[in-house]
Amino acid sequence: MNSAADKNPEWGATYRLIASEKWKAKSAAMGREVTESLVEYAAPQPGMKVLDLASGTGEPAISLAGRVGPTGHVTALDLSSELLEIAAGRASERGLNNLTTRVADAHQLPFPDQSFDLVTSRFGVMFFQNCVQAFREVQRVLKPGSRACFMAWGPFEQPFWSSMMGTAHKYAGGTLTVPGGDPCKYSRPGSLAAILREAGFAKVEEETKTLPWTWQGTAEEIWEHSQAVSTPFLPMLQRVPAEKRDEMNRAVLQAVRQYEDGDSIKFGARVVLAAGTKS
């Protein structure tokens, strides 16, 4: 999406794709309540034409396709054709014939004006290089009176981030994320709503919620998964001296195990939901 991904080809790297495939079931389970919350917030209706930005491996596009039904349609858009292949496969497994994928840039959407009834994105807007430009493109392709609904991460100081990347950063030093790759960019209350207003949206709203964010497995698994797919933190992780890596791993696992509950890790997720309407 003409974002951090352009400057960091690791965002579509093979090891990330392998991890996405390896852990797709557990990753989907971890994000289920978060996805459902965004879908409920967006309130898709049967027959709607929906555009989902930064779809990655398929959510919330797949859930939205189930809601709009056979008379509706969802377009899952992302820069990575490889991730979209995973999304298409997941949709096919569910028998969804009303979802198509499109490799494209959110800043230059390849659709005519007034093409969609709803636009969504889950954990994608933080990585747009120019959110105002992207949101103006969203306005262009929305029909008058239609909504755009987005979910972003809340503060870094929450269990999922601080237990793993926060602990690792103590050993790495330097910057935490790559330029343009801060997943918590819109954690300050009102900041995402302000961008929507700047882009020209009306009836702008924003709220912060804490939702379940549970890994159904071990601390070792979630740490392996996070190192592979949390691309903005990759350069930081690579800076950890070799002689400190074992110590770092032990410290991370100890921090993660604070949130163990039986056979799962219950982090919880503090997220930002924001929406605007095309006037």
* pLDDT band at residue 179 under the 50/70/90 scheme: confident
Q: Tell me the Cα Rg of the chain.
A: 18
Q: What pLDDT does 24 receive?
A: 74
DSSP state of 124: -
Quote the mean pLDDT of the chain.
Answer: 92
Cα 259 to Cα 105, 167, 215, distances in angstroms: 38, 15, 10
Angstrom distance (rounded) from CA 162 to CA 154: 12
Using CB atoms within 10 Å of the CB of residue 202, give its burial: 0 to 12 exposed, 13 to 18 middle, 19+ buried.
Answer: exposed
- Does CATH number 3.40.50.150 belong to domain 4-277? yes
- Tell me what percent of the residues of the chain surpass a pLDDT of 70: 92
* pLDDT band at residue 20 under the 50/70/90 scheme: low
- Predicted confidence (pLDDT) per residue in 50-95, tens digit: 999 999 989 999 999 999 999 999 999 999 998 899 899 999 999 9
* pLDDT surpasses 50 at 5: no
Which contiguous run of DSSP H or E holds residue 261?
Answer: strand 260-261
